[in-house]
Structure 1
Amino acid sequence: MRFVKDHPQFPVELVLRVLGIASSTFYEWRKRTITPSARQLADEELLAEIVDIHTSSGGTYGSPRVHAMLVRRGIGVSRKRVERLMRSAGLQGAFGRRRWRIPSTRQNPRAIPAPDLVERNFTADAPNKLWVADATRIPVGEGVFWLAAVRDAFSNRIVGWKSSDRCDTDLVLGALEYGVWSRDVRDGELVHHSDRGSTYTAIRFANRLADNGIAQSMGSVGDCPLSG
């Protein structure tokens, strides 16, 4: 979405077709970003809290537990509204905990990982200095879906996320793009840290980080504590 907005020199319909985005989706998104209603703004703020709780639970919390956590945080909201927002975002509780133990991250043995710029010091002295990213496999009643999320180490809040039935480069790119779009990212000030999974070692992902002046950092496979 942001690519289309930031590159007006390209025909909108052509870019949307290449990116696989429906025209109606783009124009509705643009309408909401230009003149968002009070209800939309409230929903976006609430959804950020929901995603934070859901991701911190490892993707296991369904709407009842998410609603309970919101109440504990002092956020008064109906359970139906929580269910609606989670459904629209593709967030569900996890089932079948034995399957949950299946490893979710695989390393591409031919890829050259980025250096570890963090060395397990997952703290930051200001927003948008260190983002920590991970992709989580979540078994659900209908099968399996994946949740990619990006957390700001300073506030411990989710700044970008995307869900899909496949764990691929598009999944983690979507989470990154959401974070870049929603935050004031300044060239040369932000480090993006992840494990060495094949989605994060993809050339497309590295190039997108470079386009935004973001330094890439990687730990070992599966070594990216998104929730802690």
Structure 2
Amino acid sequence: MIVGFIDEYRKVYGVESVCRALSAHGIQIAPRTYRKARRRPPSARDIADAHVENALRDLLGQPEEMYGRRKMTRYLRRKGHRVAFCTVDRIMRDLGMNGIVRGRKLRTTIAAKDGIRAGDKLNRDFTALAPNRVWVADFTYVSTWTGWAYVAFVFDAYSRAIVGWTTAATKTTALVSKALNMAVWRRDHYGHPIEPGLIHHSDAGSQAVFN
């Protein structure tokens, strides 16, 4: 990686200048070390990785491109590549390849078991004449490299400003209650305490029945 970086900038700044800049940032490499590394033949691992990388690139636009790490490892082995799962995982991650994840569709609105919803005190009118009169809350989910993340938020219907929010790895009652607690604390902290009469309108799911 370091050799490739120097290769990219050496024609503009020179090898010595690039090495000095890298050393100043804690990456110690001498020009002689760089030149020696360039003359060194590729290792057996580099050659094996190149074959696997080429095989993965050849799958572009093919159904096998959607395979995950484990299924891709078995596929490459059937094609004659003696490759370990960790190697396929590393190279696919470097190439930005991700398999299709199959499973249950995520739901954020789960009705209560008794089927009874809290009454809609706003009657679908999401407007307010002043701050801290009507708050609207909900939560959703986003996909991340480590899994699904859930985001809950509360916004003021008057200003449309988000006054409270929180994130978590699971969709629990605490996810939405913490967002509400944060909203109450922030309004009080910035000199706009909550007065009696505030309506908190939320999602109809069992995690967020606050009406």
TM-score range for the pair, normalised by the shorter chain length? 0.3 to 0.5
Q: Which has the larger radius of gyration?
A: 2
Flag the structure with more relative contact order, 1 or 2, with Cα contacts below 8 A and sequence separation at least 6: 1
State the TM-score, normalized to the length of structure 1. Answer: 0.43
State the TM-score, normalized to the length of structure 2. Answer: 0.46
